[in-house]
Amino acid sequence: MSAAAPALKTPPAPAVMTGARLLVSSLERMGVEVVFGYPGGAIMPIYDALTGSSLKHILVRHEQAAAFAADAYARLSGRVGVCMATSGPGATNLITGIANAMMDSAPMVCITGNVPQGVMGTDAFQEIDILGVTLPIVKHSILVRDAAEIPAAIEQAFHIAASGRPGPVLVDLPKDVQFAETVAPFGFNIPNETIEADADAIAEAERFIRAAERPLIYIGGGVKIGRATEALRAFAETTGIPAVATLNALGTVPTDAPGFLGMLGMHGTRAANEAVQASDLLIVMGARFDDRATGKLAEFAPHARVVHFDADASEIGKLRETHVAVGGEIRPAIEALTTRMAAAPLTIDPWVIRCASAAARHAARYDAPGEGVYAPALLKQLSEMAGDRFVAACDVGQHQMWAAQHCRFARPEAHITSGGLGAMGFGLPAGLGAQMADPDAIVVTIAGDGGFMMNVQELATLRRYGVPLKIVLLDNSSLGLVRQWQELFFAENYSEIDLSDNPDFVKVAEAFGVEAFRIDRRDQVEAGLARLLAAKGACLAHVVIDPKENVWPLVPPGKSNAEMMEGA
């Protein structure tokens, strides 16, 4: 499975050009339209070559934002996101974004300048061994030592980033390589290998499913990544098997689809977690048994056998014994399974009814008392008002969990979140990247007051390029998720979570030239959301919420998913 292989443009006739110019031509040839980056000494030849190219370079205000934006661009468009930075601090500032793309399998190519090869290893000014530093957090990395190798290196980088289980690829270019003049051939083509699903394994999967009384589909991010959303929906509809989703898979089945029980795990729904615990067969589709999804692994789905579909063979059996493994591309594998399942219906009505009644019994309520803004209700309403073009770009914290629990997602691309890494500061640059990927989408950054400040400088980027991103800033004047854990698990010892001296966020946004207004009370929410969504340009709604509000339900860390806590 792979993100779309970019259409290769006709190779230009070989001509003498610098490595920097060759790099830019190579990116153009890969079909790259947008690059997020920040210049500096060791990448100056490339920035020199950028002028006059067809690439649209978005100058962010911090390299971390370039990586986050490229990641979100990739997640929404399905194409490889590209970011670039200079050596040393520029490169190290990319690191959190590279790790984020690695953890959530986003296809990204990161281009870094480096000091000339002659001084590499001498602690030269702004020299960092970025290839070495990033080894554990990249899918692959390439140090290009000869300008003539640039076209091949770029093609290889894009291929690796997008194929199989996608991920970030770093291409490091010493400055002398950027300056070097060369005649380089284009047309280095990598064969598109696809791994066929094993027909015997699919037949075996069918046998397990037909033998099960309480089968459950456990959907992971690999379904969306493998462009298998429609295939998965057809499988769920054909079989009628109930489904749960991980954080990164929300929207793969529409939130309100029959049989969908919601997110599983730490902040999942009670119906989803109960179904997992009762299930006798988990049909795992592109998921990796992350601890936030499983809770205490030894007690996760204790009665279930496991059928696991995954493009990454190393995920099979990594954390949980697998009875049937289906490797290779996930979309044809699911389609083949659906064809087999269509031959005869399952007889699982009691189980389906049991799951549906649990979902109805535990449905979220939005009738919290009081005049204050109830964030879960606001987020649900936001997604309903924005409709099918809605894309949420979430930061990390309580608001992220509320968005996952309460927003309506019509497609998996509608929910962009830092799942595996949980990187605060993701929301604003992710919104920028997503809006650049789809100017017609209604992209809304949902952030808390903590994470928003980690990349607040990107308001300037919105202003500069006229990016019409909407921002819902849920301000509880604290680091809410940490505060919640201190309340519940650290005897209410509130340590370093108070942010009550936050700046005036409306003034901050206005100082950057971004329209902003404040929502303090529940009766202002509907009009406020309407104003936000109607704004022509970027707009920020500063929403003041109760600092004591918690995310419920909750599985305490290290506990079984059977032990969900509810709020008062």
Partner 1 sequence: MSMSDTIHIQIDRADGSLQRLIGLVERRGFHIDGMSMAPDSEVEGAMRRIALTVRGRDAARSIDTLGRQIDRLIGVARIQAQTFQSEAA
The minimum distance between CB 252 and partner 1, in angstroms, equals 24
The minimum distance between CB 43 and partner 1, in angstroms, equals 18
Residue type, 558: G
DSSP state of 471: E
Q: Which is nearer to partner 1, 140 or 559 (CB)?
A: 140
The minimum distance between CB 80 and partner 1, in angstroms, equals 16
The minimum distance between CB 167 and partner 1, in angstroms, equals 10
Residues near partner 1 (CB under 8 A) are 131-132, 135-136, 139-143, 145, 160, 312-314, 316-318
Closest CA to 519 of 537, 539, 541, 536: 541
Q: Which is nearer to partner 1, 122 or 314 (CB)?
A: 314
Beta-bridged to residue 219, according to DSSP, are: 245, 285
Q: Which is nearer to partner 1, 502 or 560 (CB)?
A: 560
The minimum distance between CB 49 and partner 1, in angstroms, equals 23
Dig out the tokens for 322 from the structure. Answer: 């697998």
The minimum distance between CB 368 and partner 1, in angstroms, equals 43
Closest CA to 147 of 119, 122, 116, 123: 116
Cα R_g (the chain), whole angstroms = 24
Q: Which is nearer to partner 1, 298 or 491 (CB)?
A: 298
Question: Cα dist. 481→253, 282, 445, 488, 513 in Å?
Answer: 27, 30, 18, 11, 30
**What stretches of 2-66 adopt beta strand conformation (E)?**
16-18, 34-37, 56-59
The minimum distance between CB 66 and partner 1, in angstroms, equals 23
Please, which residues have CB within 8 angstroms of residue 470's CB and are 6 or more apart in sequence?
431, 442, 443, 444, 445, 532, 533, 535, 538, 539, 540, 541
Task: Return d(Cα 134, Cα 156) in angstroms, integer.
Answer: 18
| Run of H or E including 97 | helix 95-103
Dig out the tokens for 24 from the structure. Answer: 């830019």
Please, which residues have CB within 8 angstroms of residue 290's CB and are 6 or more apart in sequence?
246, 265, 419, 420
The minimum distance between CB 19 and partner 1, in angstroms, equals 16
User: How distant is the alpha carbon of residue 92 from its chain centre?
Assistant: 21
104 within 8 A of 164, measured Cβ to Cβ? no
Task: Return d(Cα 563, Cα 568) in angstroms, integer.
Answer: 16
Q: What share of the chain is helix, strand, coil (3-state, %, to 5)?
A: 40, 20, 40
Q: Which is nearer to partner 1, 316 or 403 (CB)?
A: 316
Q: Which is nearer to partner 1, 311 or 532 (CB)?
A: 311
Question: Is the preceding peptide bond at 553 cis, omega within 30 degrees of 0?
Answer: yes
The minimum distance between CB 329 and partner 1, in angstroms, equals 16
Dig out the tokens for 110 from the structure. Answer: 């990161």
The minimum distance between CB 21 and partner 1, in angstroms, equals 23
Q: Which is nearer to partner 1, 145 or 411 (CB)?
A: 145
Task: Return d(Cα 267, Cα 242) in angstroms, integer.
Answer: 19
Q: Which is nearer to partner 1, 139 or 292 (CB)?
A: 139
